[in-house]
Amino acid sequence: MASTKVVFLTFLTDVLIDEVLSYAPNSYEIVVLGKDSTEENRINEARNADFLMCYGHNPSDDVLRSLEKCRLVQNLAAGYDSMNLDLLTELEIPLANNGGANSWAVSDQAVLLMLAIYKQLLACNTSTRTGRWLEPITGQNTFELANKKVGILGIGNIGKQVAKRVQAFDSEVQYYDLNPLDDATEKELNVSYVSIDELFRTSDIVTCHTPLTNETRHIVDAERLSMMKSSAILINTSRGPVVDEKALIAALTDGEIAAAGLDVFEKEPVDPDNPLLKMDNVVATPHMAGTTWDTWVRRAKFAFQNMERVRRGEAPQAVVNFVD
């Protein structure tokens, strides 16, 4: 087979680039374009690329238009909200995400945030280190996941993994998704579908795992936050704009909900003066839920296997822009 050219747009470190590329077939010619590459360089290299692979460095519209022979844009990340899907569809180039490669990592983080809130982890860590021992614990402010109702907003690859994990803690799981699961899958996962309003009204924990689209932007708004129990907590490891941040700040300040665990924010990096970072009832992390050493193997293998599918004349998997 003739050499296959892959242009890799990325801001990854050399160590991680080497790890990803170690899974490429020997016949592939890989051109890595990092932080120092110019737009002109990216356009020129893209012209004769068979595949475009991206992580943390998405192509401009001019780069996309220069893809004269590209058969697939492969994103190593799960999110695709910063990609121009309309243009890719117009150009008849499929865009695939990572096929759930980071679903274990993100679902772990979601459960971690739930437990950190329920067990007052951050306050206890600080008090233990500063000689104040049990000071944060009142006997009324720590909880178990057992017998809690967890509401999953968006039950794709990550949402399904969250369902499995919280049930290991004896939680009950309900979900809402624009595309409900079939009966067999619901039975296999032991989850039940409810309306979005029912999800917010009855869940002890609402955890967000939906992609960011026009339909899901601010899907968690003031009205839905007001439906939640005052004892309920909100977890967001999906995309920041899924949640109306001003409404969340108000809900936390006014005691409409008890707490929030956030890995994502509407503006990233998050402003150090963001009120959410000043709240004791918020656990915050820097959009790192999907980043583990383990994920790079799965991301890379899936990406190059997807390219090989296309080379064999098969349809790629995990396409998000519905190109035929």
Whether the CA torsion 214, 157, 169, 123 is positive or negative: it is negative
Tokens 């999906």 belong to 238
Contact 135, 192 (CB under 8 A): no
CA distance 158 to 107: 6
Helix (H) or strand (E) holding 208: strand 205-208
- CA dist., res. 42 & res. 111, Å (int): 40
Q: What is the enclosing helix (H) or strand (E) of 105? A: helix 103-118
Q: How far apart are the first and last CA of the chain?
A: 25
Active site residues: 239, 268, 287
For 154, phi and psi rounded to 5 degrees? 100, 105
Tokens for 259, please give them: 């707490």
Quote the CA–CA distance of 279 and 183 in Å, as a whole number. Answer: 41
Q: Are the C-beta atoms of 226 and 250 separated by less than 8 Å?
A: no
